[in-house]
Homo-oligomer: A and B are copies of this chain.
Amino acid sequence: MKIEQLCVKRLYGDVAGATTRGHKIAIKGGYIYQTFQGGYTLTPLGWSVVHKIENIIRKEMDTVEGQEILMPVVCSADLWRETGRYDSMDSVIAKFKGSSGADYLICPTHEEVVTDYARSVLTSYRQLPFMLYQIQTKFRNELRVRAGLIRTREFIMKDGYSFHETQGDLEKYYKRCFDAYYRLFKRCGLKNVTDVLSNTGDMGGKLAHEFQLINEMGEDTLYICDCGFRANKELEEHASDITKCPKCGKELQKIRGIEIGNIFQLGKKYTESMHMTYTDANGEEKTPIMGCYGIGVTRVMAAIMEESADENGPIWNMETAPFAVEVIGLSDKEGKTLPLAEKIYNDLHANGIEVLLDNRDNRAGEKFADADLIAAPIRLIVSTKNLEQNQIEIKYRVNDYDSTTLPNAIDINNYLEIIQDLIKKLSHN
């Protein structure tokens, strides 16, 4: 794509109303656009990143035999009345009447809907365990929105739900998902991720963990102890009074985190109230045990921008960057550089590389500032400077890789293979 065609508005200077570094960068780079308070349009750049995060999640869900489905965004009230949550979660649920007068809601979560589907499928223990997940839009009537995609009313979630015969089987599977979460957050480029014990809240069940990105702009308070104990402050009632670790008695440290995922051992809360049963090996009717596994997909993008950015823009890794390569042509008097930049762009594009071309008639400084906001990990600069040696300058915007070990110029007759190699190298983080 050519940069002048990219339908994105970049801002320069200070951004009014943005309170955090990541939020500022999201606005300045034109990744998100506020359609209403708490509802954002993902622009071509923002959607590209989110879509890549979605595909990283899909790959990791494959490793735990997750089966992707898509449930409706809307639901009839009936299903939610079966568990009592139509009333108990009233404050966050958007409700409306259908044309026939029936009650509907926009699902803030999907335990009822997935249990209704799963009970229609499950008959025998031979089918267990299984895990269903979806990547989909949710809406919550949040009173408080915050920091762009960090806390919104409408957001994209990956929500997964597993069903098991025994608590032991759930625990084994829960551990596999726990490990998959660490892998996928790492692949997204998030660094300072930790798990903490959390309370189960509206979800029910007994054991739950949150995945938190440790970051000073986070709004959750985490209690951490050297002995390995880690919990969200809400875990205990009157948590503000707790200063000692409940496990070893040492002084607890307080740090801040951004919640990016959560997993719950739900037990039978939903399967029992919704009468989901199967026949076990002895021919007896049993109720399955359930786990659930959430990831705030749009919040993951926001979290990356809070953690991996400098004053000039975000730092994506190769897996999440909207473009792998940006080619910048800096015009010369002889008229050689721009056609060469375009030729390189065409070659890379024809070889399936996601590449952006900036051959605009702008000052070099403006082009570099835009390149920092778009943040392709590999940047080729076609200028007279290196052209005398038949070379193109190459720069990197990475933070998982020691870029001093990478070439800072490449031959104009042999760039394709080198760039393909570099992309491969930078892809394994």
Using a CB–CB cutoff of 8 Å, the interface residues on chain A facing chain B are 1, 4-9, 30, 33, 35-37, 39-44, 46-48, 50-51, 65, 67-76, 78-79, 91-92, 94-96, 98-100, 104, 106, 113, 116-118, 120-121, 126-127, 130, 132, 134, 136-137, 139, 141-143, 153-154, 156
Contacts and interface: CB of A to CB of B under 8 A. Distances in A.
Given A99-B91, A121-B9, A47 B73 contact: no
Tell me the dominant secondary structure on chain A's binding face.
mixed
A145 to B, nearest CB: 11
Number of copies: 2
Nearest to A66: B44
A69 B96 contact: no
Given A98-B94, A104-B94, A113-B41, A35 B71 contact: yes
Contact of A73 (B48, B99, B137): B137
A35 B113 contact: yes
Contacts of A117: 33, 35, 41, 43
A70 B50 CA distance: 10
A419 B72 CA distance: 37
Contacts of A76: 35-37, 39
Contacts of A99: 91-92, 141-143
A383 to B, nearest CB: 23
B35 A75 contact: yes
A270 to B, nearest CB: 15
Given A4-B127, A44-B68, 11 more contacts: A35-B71, A35-B117, A40-B72, A42-B71, A44-B132, A74-B106, A94-B96, A94-B98, A95-B96, A96-B96, A137-B137
